[in-house]
Structure 1
Amino acid sequence: MNGDLRGHKKMQAYSQMLTVDEAAERMGMSVRHVRRLVSERSIPFYKVGRSVRIASSDVDAYLRALRVETLNARRGVA
């Protein structure tokens, strides 16, 4: 049974892996730009054979890092 759980978690993790095209669509960027991020190693990625996969959590983290706070938020003003 324990092996079944590990297999299920692997499948769940793999299903959260995005192709470059899927990541680009999710990020609202061009495929070319996402490929540049990969080649510059600006976003974590996995090589699966000759294919590149990006974890959806890494896409989310990358987008969070790009967030710019408003001036009011930095001053502590609500």
Structure 2
Amino acid sequence: MDDDYLPPIAVQDLTGVSIAALAQLRHRGLGPRYYKPTPRTVLYKRSEVVAWIEGSVRQGIRELA
């Protein structure tokens, strides 16, 4: 299913971004959108994580200029 909800450990497995790095991205307002159904629960939609990854595509050094 494309819109299932993933806990941070599953996002880590999918992206290679550590759970700690995901927490830092949330704190800084960066990274994929997330949901907090309870104060201690963080979830991500798979489709939004994939869109976040695909939105970070780079082709080469010219993009740095």
| Structure-1 residue corresponding to 2:27 | 39
Give the C-alpha shift of residue 46 in structure 1: 0.4
Structure with greater strand percent: 2
Structure 1 alignment gaps of length 5 or more: 1-11, 72-78
Structure with greater helix percent: 1
Please list the CA deviations of residues 28-68 of structure 1 after superposition, one character each: whole Å capped at 9, or x if unmatched. Answer: 11111111112222121100112010110111011011111
TM normalised by structure 2 equals 0.74
CA RMSD of aligned residues (A): 1.9
Measure, in 1, the Cα distance between the counterparts of 2:29 and 2:10. Answer: 18
Size of the aligned set, in residue pairs, is: 58
Structure with bigger RCO (C-alpha 8 Å, 6+ apart): 2
The answer on 1:26 being equivalent to 2:24 is no
Structure 2 alignment gaps of length 5 or more: none
Structure 1 stretches of 4+ with a deviation exceeding 6 A read none
Identity of aligned residues (%): 19
Structure showing greater Rg: 1
The answer on 1:67 being equivalent to 2:64 is no
Measure, in 1, the Cα distance between the counterparts of 2:6 and 2:34. Answer: 10
